[in-house]
Amino acid sequence: MKNPFKKKNKLYLSDKQPLTPLGVVGLGLTYLVLAIWVIAILWPLAQMIISAFNGKQEQYIMLNDNFEFSMEHFKYLFSETLYLTWVKNTLFISITTAIFTLIMVSFTGFAYSRYRFKGRKASLMAIMLIQTIPTFAGITAYFTMHSIISSIAPWFTRQLMLILIYSGGGIAGNTFILKGYIDSISSELDDAARIDGCSSMQVYRLIIMPIARPMLAIIALWSFIGPFMDYLLPRVLLTNPKSYTLAAGLFTLISDFRTLNQPAFAAGGLLTAVPIVTLFIVLQKQLVSGLASGSVKG
């Protein structure tokens, strides 16, 4: 006869069974693949940093050279190239793109989330389809648009055209993302604000935008990073070296024999990462909140 007072052993989901020999092999392979992946990422970064500070390298990066700490490649970058001009151009394009994208996306995301209007579903479907078209596919149309606009407004430069391309390309996808985030915010907050006498614009400004600030921070970061990472469009649209962005300008240090300097290119790539890493650190709290809180709102 079983003892009714005897406690039964309980199993919890956190309890793990001992690994079988096959499981040990699988775990070892997993760690091996992860180790190879880490080495594949960190090794080029380490070589870039070493080459940027190695004074024994001249035009080419030589991995077997002895290391001698020097800042001459950075001096070359600032004195013999248009690096500071490229930085200024990139910051102007990135900041303007981020601001313009944030303004447009905040309105469109709010409108698609909170209002029901004719053509809403069709336009949302169009937004999804737009993302399948590569930006570079419209290069001929971009040249035509710039020619038409610049003939009417001579101040409309190719850099401004680049800003419109980046902003226009980012509005569609970011609108869809922000709409999904705002959908997770309870509409009862809107109703309570309207009962208190708030207009639709006040609901947008005082209720929705403060709550959606983490997601807006993510959108701003994506919009800011885009011009730093893109090489193809600036290289095609910007014909004057003085108007180049960092990606297009630094590429001349490894593509043109007259200005070939691979260690200086490594130094420029290292400096290019500074504003992006700084922005990540500044927006760290907002980024984590935006990625984590969307699933628990409502």
Pair 149, 70 in one domain: no
3-state secondary structure of 69: strand
Is residue 36 located within the same domain as residue 112? Answer: no
Residues 42 and 134 in one domain: no
On whether both 136 and 175 belong to a single domain, the answer is yes
Whether 6 maps to a domain, the answer reads no
DSSP state for residue 54 in the 8-state scheme: B
Tokens of 51: 């080459």
Residue 15 domain-assigned?
no
- Residues 238 and 245 sit within 8 Å (Cβ to Cβ): yes
Domain range for 59: 22-75
Does residue 1 sit within a domain?
A: no
CB atoms within 10 A of CB 228: 17
Q: With respect to residue 272, please indicate whether it lies within any of the assigned structural domains.
A: yes
Is 5 domain-assigned? no
For residues 238 and 141, the answer to whether their CB atoms sit within 8 Å is no
With 0-12 CB in 10 A as exposed, 13-18 as middle and 19+ as buried, what is 135? middle
- The count of domains in the chain is 2
Same-domain status, 53 and 92:
no
Residues 6+ away with beta carbon under 8 Å from 169:
135
- Residues contacting residue 23 through CB under 8 Å, at least 6 positions apart: none
If asked whether residues 36 and 172 sit together in one domain, one would say: no
Distance CA 208, CA 131 (A): 26
pTM of the model: 0.80
Q: Is 4 part of any domain? A: no
Residue 163 belongs to a domain? yes
Q: Is residue 26 part of a domain?
A: yes
Which of 75, 107, 142 is the endpoint of a domain? Answer: 75
Domain containing 163 — which CATH number?
Answer: 1.10.3720.10
Task: Report the first-to-last Cα separation within the chain, whole angstroms.
Answer: 53
Do 53 and 107 belong together in one domain?
Answer: no
Same domain, 123 and 251: yes
Report residue 75: phi and psi, to 5°: -65, -40
Q: Which two tokens stand for residue 240?
A: 């004057």
DSSP for residue 205: I
Tens digit of pLDDT at every position of the chain (298 positions) = 555 544 455 544 555 677 788 888 888 999 999 999 999 999 988 888 888 888 888 788 877 667 888 899 899 999 888 999 999 999 999 999 999 999 999 998 888 888 888 888 888 888 777 777 776 677 777 888 888 888 888 888 889 889 988 888 888 888 888 888 888 888 888 888 888 888 888 888 888 888 888 888 888 888 999 898 888 888 888 888 899 999 999 998 888 777 788 888 989 989 988 888 888 888 777 666 655 554 444 4
Is the same domain home to 140 and 235? yes
**Alpha carbons 61 and 18: distance in angstroms, whole number:** 49
